[in-house]
Amino acid sequence: MFASALTPAAELRPLETWHAAEFAAHLDRAREHIRPWVGPSFVTTDLAGATATLVRYAEQTARDGARIYGIWSEGTLVGGVMFVEFSAAAGTCEVGCWLEPGAEGQGLITLASRAILRWAFEERGIHRAEWRCRADNARSSAVAQRLGMTFEGVAREAWKVGDTFYDKQVWSLLTGDFAAGTSSPV
């Protein structure tokens, strides 16, 4: 099966509907850690919810839209990266990510994001990749920066969590930036 090595212990693979039970178990470890920072529809609480997320991605992938990839570390699903949006026709995509707390601090998301960005730019002809995060999500902004993305600005109070509206940062990487190797070396 397809797998891309990120480190000697970790690999990136498509996250598919048949992984639903594994994904649900992973979300039990990740849920409260990711809840403030990701879209509410991603933070499901049971197997049916985890399955629905993977089915939603599979349907969009079938239309050459959004895609989701898991990161397995020593055989355990610990997080992943996704194309929240992907349009070859428009030449644009948006990358997202998440990890369970024990997998932070190892560079897994930077490596995985770079792998899917390479595919988007070099194989699919994507011109512009975006990264959007809550303005107070320092770890997410740090990934965008590590990827060599340019900070474009803040969409004011564009991120709703519960009853609170947070500012949202927008970062981007263009195909020329990527080809020029502006991503910092890992």
Nearer to ligand COA, 20 or 43 (CB): 43
Reading across the β-sheet that carries 164-174, which strands appear in turn? 4-5, 10-14, 67-73, 76-87, 92-99, 128-134, 164-174, 150-161
Binding status of residue 35 toward ligand COA by CB under 6 A: no
Binding status of residue 57 toward ligand COA by CB under 6 A: no
Binding status of residue 6 toward ligand COA by CB under 6 A: no
Binding status of residue 105 toward ligand COA by CB under 6 A: yes
Binding status of residue 140 toward ligand COA by CB under 6 A: yes
Binding status of residue 42 toward ligand COA by CB under 6 A: no
User: Of the candidates 23, 37, 42, 83, which one interacts with ligand COA according to CB under 6 A?
Assistant: 37
Name the residue among 86, 70, 69 with its Cα closest to residue 78. Answer: 70
Binding status of residue 144 toward ligand COA by CB under 6 A: no
Question: Which residues have CB under 8 Å from 79's CB, separation 6+?
Answer: 26, 30, 70, 71, 97, 98, 99, 100, 103, 108, 109
Ranges of H-type helices in the chain: 20-34, 47-62, 108-118, 138-146, 175-179
Binding status of residue 118 toward ligand COA by CB under 6 A: no
Question: What residues line the site for ligand COA (CB under 6 A)?
Answer: 33-34, 37-38, 96-99, 104-111, 133, 137, 139-140, 143, 146, 186
